[in-house]
Structures are given as C-alpha cells and as structure tokens.
C-alpha cells in the first residue's frame, strides 16, 4: 500500500494515523518522545493530555457535545479511548489520562500498517504525503521549517485573545454603532462615564490573574499588552489605548463618552463580537465579573474568554485549503492545534480530517471536506475564512456555524444546530 508520514503523536497525530490506516495506507508516525519532551509533556505515551483530564461537556445541544457525537460517528480513536477510560465528572466527559493514553498507544502499536518512529523531525522534506501535527509547543526547528514555508509573519508563538460575546446578549439600548470620526458604522461602542470608568478600573486592577505556566514568561509584546498590564501602568493608560473615546459621539447624549470599549464583528453572520484590544490574563470567572461592569455588557454571554498563552499556530486563512493541505504545497497537510483551532477535541477533529485526506491523496482519491453545518465543518470554515481580520485560535462554538434559518428561540437553538449538523453529516457520509 501507499505510504504517508505523520509528525507528532499527540491527539491530532494519533487520530490522523488511525484514520489513515483505516483508509488502507501505511503510516509512518514520528513522535519525538521520550527522546525529547516539550515543556508541558511528561509521558512517553501517545495521545497525552497535557493539562486538564476533561474533554468538556457531553450535552448534545452544546457545540462541544455535538463535536463529540460527530467524532464518534466518524469512528474516532480518541473518542474510543475516552469511552474506555472515562471517570465520573457530572455532565462532562473526563478520563483517566494514563488509561486514555495507553489505549491510544496500544491501539496504534497493534496495527500492522502503522510504524511508530520515536524521533524528532526537523525538516519538511517528505517525498510522500505528510501531516504535521506537532501541536502548540512545536519544536523550534520544526517551527523554523514551517516559517520558511509560510513566511515569517504567518507563524505565531503566542495567542493574545480578546473575549468574544454573543451579539444577542449585548444591550443594544446602551451601545451605539459608529466608527471613529464618522468613518462608517462598523463598530458597536460601549460608552462609559467617568464614574463607570472608575468602577471598572478599580475592579480590573484588583482582579485575580491566571497563573503563568512554568515555561511561560510574563513578557508580552508591546503591541498586544493584556489590559490589566496597561491599567497597572496608570489610571490614564487605557484612555489613550483600547478605551480611547476620541472621534466617537454617543447619539444618546450627543457627547463624546469619557471612555469606550469597541466591539468588532467577528463572523459573517454578526452573531459574535470581540472586545477590541481586550486581551487579558484575568481568571475566567473574574473576566465575566469585571467585563459585565461595562455599560451594555451587563448580561453579556461569552463565546470565548480572553487569554495570553504560548501557542504555536499558523495563520491558516489563505494558506490552508478546506482539505487542510497547503495551497502552495498540496502534499503537505496540517493537523491539530497548529491549524488555529483550540482544544483537545477540536485538535482531534483537525487530525481526523488531515489523516483521511493525506491517505486519500496517497491513494489518488478526491479529498474531503465536511459540510459547514457540522461542528467539524464549522471549525474548518473558521481556519480557512479569509474574511476574518484578526485571526485567532478558537474553541468550537455555535457562533462559527452558518446561521439557522428563521428565528429560533434561544433555548432551543443548540438543539437545532445539533440536529441540522447530524443530518448534514449523515447526508455527507451517504454521498461518500
């Protein structure tokens, strides 16, 4: 049979290898452990969970629950391992990490067509199709090879993520639509009085921060400082930074507010808005509490909270096709977190697709891309959407999905997205 190479035996690489051998190709899976460990990896096993042992919610009407059901339907090795190693965790799917990783390692080792090579890969000089799934802590030499391929600007080592809110949780009686100096009306603006600003400033500068991981330094780029770091520099700093009010007139008062927070549309459907320049390392609970002090965001529901993390990822839009290979180098696929998704199962899903497609390319079969209505398809759409101005890694969430037709009450929306997704998945599988 034809051969493919996979680099990285994490969640994505293991899933890719499993799917590829199921497609009838031989797989050479390169994993640098135990010869070399990233700063977060410790176990020689494949499919190691580097942090939490939770794969998040099982609720079938949540986006992550839906992704689980899709992966199950698609014969995912990682979901099989989770079923075999699950531990009680209420509505979440949590696993015994040792049993989980052992299941994955043994399942792959038993496959006659999978060869596991314990070796670091530094170059991209494969003659067969290859999947790179080296994860958020990709080694420097591999990062350098990817940078040569994509260009310096396209590879990121940190993500500085601003929180994202659902549009329908914003109080539109308070926020107003405008761009600075009357140059259009692309932004929603939360207006603050001086008293509002004082309250917010006080809460921000006394809120609790997320602990730094041992291998992360509190060293940030001046261009994207966390808001609490800016605030700590002085009472006025934010007023000259992301909260500056100049060029904005509040139509409710006819005056320029004391401060503003600008919200920028995040997706085509306008269901998600990000808080411009509001990357933050506050603890998640603290973010909700502090940001809900902003006028217009009292009831805000967050699709994603802010963070500043070490994370290697490619600026995928414009570089990757919807089949997860490079447009400029079709034999080379990316899988996992390095594609610009965030999370264990999101990474797994991007491994599934890269593995299937690398195998199909090796067998000269047409490549596949899941329908955009599915959770997997929505993630592919996120990482290949060239219309997003400020591309950042994302967990799966319904804001990434094409809008539902008509008005569906909020309570039933998750179930409606999920039902549509599973139907689209079945129709897609039937067509294959």
Shorter beta-carbon distance to ligand FAD: residue 18 or 344? 344
- Which of 50, 130, 178, 425 binds ligand FAD (CB under 6 A)? It is 50
- Work out whether 129 is an interface residue with ligand FAD (CB under 6 A): no
- Work out whether 10 is an interface residue with ligand FAD (CB under 6 A): yes
- Work out whether 137 is an interface residue with ligand FAD (CB under 6 A): yes
CB of 409 to ligand FAD, least distance (A): 30
- Work out whether 383 is an interface residue with ligand FAD (CB under 6 A): no
How many residues bind ligand FAD, per CB under 6 A?
34
- Work out whether 417 is an interface residue with ligand FAD (CB under 6 A): no
Q: What phi and psi values does residue 360 have, to the nearest 5 degrees?
A: -65, -40
- Work out whether 376 is an interface residue with ligand FAD (CB under 6 A): no
- Which of 58, 61, 113, 120 binds ligand FAD (CB under 6 A)? It is 120
- Which of 121, 230, 243, 418 binds ligand FAD (CB under 6 A)? It is 121
CB of 338 to ligand FAD, least distance (A): 6
Shorter beta-carbon distance to ligand FAD: residue 181 or 215? 215
- Work out whether 130 is an interface residue with ligand FAD (CB under 6 A): no
- Work out whether 392 is an interface residue with ligand FAD (CB under 6 A): no
CB of 8 to ligand FAD, least distance (A): 3
Quick check: 157 and 358 in contact, CB under 8 A? no
Shorter beta-carbon distance to ligand FAD: residue 9 or 296? 9
Shorter beta-carbon distance to ligand FAD: residue 124 or 368? 124
CA distances from 116 to 5, 17, 100 (A): 10, 10, 18
Shorter beta-carbon distance to ligand FAD: residue 48 or 373? 48
CB of 140 to ligand FAD, least distance (A): 9
- Which of 45, 79, 133, 305 binds ligand FAD (CB under 6 A)? It is 133
CB of 306 to ligand FAD, least distance (A): 16
**Residue with the shortest CB distance to ligand FAD:** 10
Shorter beta-carbon distance to ligand FAD: residue 164 or 204? 164
- Work out whether 302 is an interface residue with ligand FAD (CB under 6 A): no
Task: Please list every residue from 12 through 41 that binds ligand FAD, using CB under 6 A.
Answer: 12-13, 30-33, 38, 40-41
CA distance 267 to 249: 25
What is the 3 state secondary structure string of the chain?
Answer: CCEEEEECCCHHHHHHHHHHHHCCCEEEEEECCCCCCCCCCCCCCCCCCCCCCEEEECCCCCHHHHHHHHHHHCCCHHHHHHHHHEECCCCEEEECHHHHHHHHHHHHHCCCCEEEEECCCCCCCCCCCEEECCCCCCCHHHHHHHHHHHCHHHEEEEEEECCEEEHHHCCCCCCEECCHHHCCCCEEEEEECHHHHHHHHHHHHHCCECCCCCCCCCCCCHHHCCHHHHHHCCCCHHHHCCCCCCCCCECCCCECCCEEEEEEECCCCCCEEEECCCCCCECHHHHHHHHCCCCCCCCCCEEECCEEEEEEEECCCCCECCCCEECCEEEEEECHHHHCECCHHHHHHHHHHHHHHHHHHHCCCCCCCCCCCCHHHHHHHHHHCCCCCCCCCECCCHHHCCCCCCCCCHHHHHHHHHHHHHHHHHHHHHHC
Using CB under 6 A, which of the segments 232-240, 245-253, 332-340, 374-382 binds ligand FAD? Answer: 332-340
The binding site for ligand FAD (CB under 6 A) comprises 7-13, 30-33, 38, 40-41, 50-52, 120-121, 133-139, 142, 213, 336-338, 343-344, 347
């Amino acid at each position: 049979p034809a051969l493919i190479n996979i680099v990285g035996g994490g969640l994505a690489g293991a899933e890719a290898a499993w799917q590829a051998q199921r497609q009838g190709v031989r797989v050479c899976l390169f994993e640098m452990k135990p010869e070399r460990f990233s700063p977060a990896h410790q176990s020689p096993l494949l499919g190691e969970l580097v942090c939490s042992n939770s794969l998040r919610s099982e609720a079938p009407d949540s986006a992550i629950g839906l992704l689980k059901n899709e992966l199950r339907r698609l014969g995912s090795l990682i979901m099989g391992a989770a079923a075999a190693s699950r531990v009680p965790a209420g509505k979440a799917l949590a696993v015994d990490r040792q049993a989980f990783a052992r299941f994955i390692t043994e399942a792959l080792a038993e496959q006659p067509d999978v060869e596991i090579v314990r070796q670091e890969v530094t170059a991209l000089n494969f003659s067969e199709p290859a999947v790179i799934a080296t994860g958020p802590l990709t080694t420097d030499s591999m990062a350098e090879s990817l940078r040569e391929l994509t260009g310096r600007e396209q590879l990121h080592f940190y993500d500085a993520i601003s929180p994202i809110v659902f549009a329908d949780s914003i109080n539109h009686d308070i926020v107003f639509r405008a761009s600075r100096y009357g140059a259009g009306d692309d932004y929603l603006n939360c207006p603050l009085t001086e008293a509002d600003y004082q309250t917010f400033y006080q809460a921000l500068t006394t809120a609790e921060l997320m602990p730094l991981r041992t291998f992360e330094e509190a060293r940030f780029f001046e261009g994207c400082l966390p808001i609490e770091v800016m605030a700590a520099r002085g009472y006025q700093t934010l007023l000259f930074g992301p909260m500056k009010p100049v060029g904005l007139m509040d139509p409710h008062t006819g005056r320029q507010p004391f401060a503003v927070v600008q919200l920028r549309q995040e997706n085509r459907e306008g269901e998600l808005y990000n808080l411009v320049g509001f990357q933050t390392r506050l603890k998640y609970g603290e973010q909700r509490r502090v940001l809900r002090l902003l006028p217009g965001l009292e009831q805000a529901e967050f699709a994603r909270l802010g963070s500043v993390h070490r994370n290697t990822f490619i600026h995928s839009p414009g570089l990757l096709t919807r089949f997860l290979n490079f447009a400029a180098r079709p034999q080379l696929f990316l899988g996992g977190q390095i594609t610009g998704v965030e999370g264990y199962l999101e990474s797994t899903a991007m491994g599934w697709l890269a593995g299937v497609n690398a195998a199909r390319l090796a067998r000269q079969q047409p490549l596949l891309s899941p329908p955009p209505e599915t959770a997997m398809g929505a993630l592919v759409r996120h990482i290949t959407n060239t219309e997003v101005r400020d591309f950042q890694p994302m967990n799966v969430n319904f804001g990434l999905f094409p809008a539902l037709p008509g008005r569906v009450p909020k309570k039933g929306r998750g179930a409606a997205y999920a039902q549509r997704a599973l139907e689209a998945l079945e129709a897609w599988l039937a067509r294959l």
